[in-house]
Amino acid sequence: MSSSDLENYAWSPRSPGERVLMALKMRNGLSSSAIGEQLGITGEAARQQLLRLAQEGLVTSENISSGVGRPTQAWSLTSAAQSRFPDTHAALTVQLLDLIGSTLGEGALDTIITARETLTREAYEGAVSDKPDLKDRVAALVDLRSREGYMADWNEQPDGSLLLVENHCPICAAATACQGFCRAELDVFRAVLGPDVNVEREEHIVSGGRRCSYRITSESAS
């Protein structure tokens, strides 16, 4: 990921510290030199930003030994850093969900989630329906999710499975208040990618993970 790629999201980091946070958001466990290379600055400049962010409680580090030479200091975001990334009208969304649940009942919330799930599935199916290859469908899904603010990516694993990663959840507050959104999201992925495809969530931001990740396997390939 180049430094220009960091500008391609709805929230664009401007200060040096924000750019460092974004680099770690997209890839955990980076060294200061690796961050500097991505951002087009020196490793020492990146280290100074990391030290400042560590004082603010936004990043933490651990020494990783490769068996030869000095250990590498790998940096990661703390849970406190999540608040530095955009949430979609979080307070209003949570308030509306609370009001719906308290005034109309949980059944009304389920109706809203189901309706949103249907609309999302129809939109996604329209974007991937002409792609017979699973990798192409996953790539199209990742593109849709990235445009919605999930900072998504995917890669093929050594065992042949595909890993879809979402480095950010723009509806995290709503999903925390009502985890039916997360259930619906997983159902949409399964429906869109096809009946012969298994999709399992492995990491979950709402459950305390750094990101959400989904392992995707084709039954025909197993």
Tens-place pLDDT, residues 86-119: 655 667 777 888 888 889 888 998 999 999 999 9
Q: 24-45 pLDDT, tens per residue?
A: 988 888 999 999 999 999 999 9
Which has more confidence, 99 or 190?
A: 190
Four-point Cα dihedral 98, 104, 105, 109, nearest 10: -70
Q: What percent of the chain has pLDDT over 70?
A: 90
- Is the CB of residue 60 less than 8 Å from the CB of residue 76? yes
Q: Does the pLDDT value for residue 76 go beyond 80? A: yes
For β-strands 152-156 and 162-166, DSSP reports them as antiparallel
List the strands of the sheet with 212-218, edge to edge.
Answer: 152-156, 162-166, 212-218, 197-203
Question: How far apart (Å, rounded) are the C-alpha atoms in residues 190 and 171?
Answer: 20
What is the model's pTM? 0.65
Q: Is the pLDDT of residue 194 over 80?
A: yes
- CA dihedral over 17, 21, 23, 28, signed as positive or negative: positive
* Exposed/middle/buried for residue 82 (C-beta within 10 Å: 0-12, 13-18, 19+): middle
Q: Looking at residue 30, what DSSP letter applies?
A: B
Q: What are the structure tokens assigned to 6, written together?
A: 């960091």
Output the pLDDT for position 9. Answer: 41
**How far is Cα 84 from Cα 80, in angstroms, rounded to an integer?**
8
Estimate to the nearest angstrom the gap between the alpha carbon of 200 and the chain centroid. Answer: 15
Is the pLDDT at 65 greater than 90? The verdict is no
The label of the residue with tokens 């690796």 reads: 34
Region 114-133: mean pLDDT is: 93
H or E element: which one contains 29?
A: none
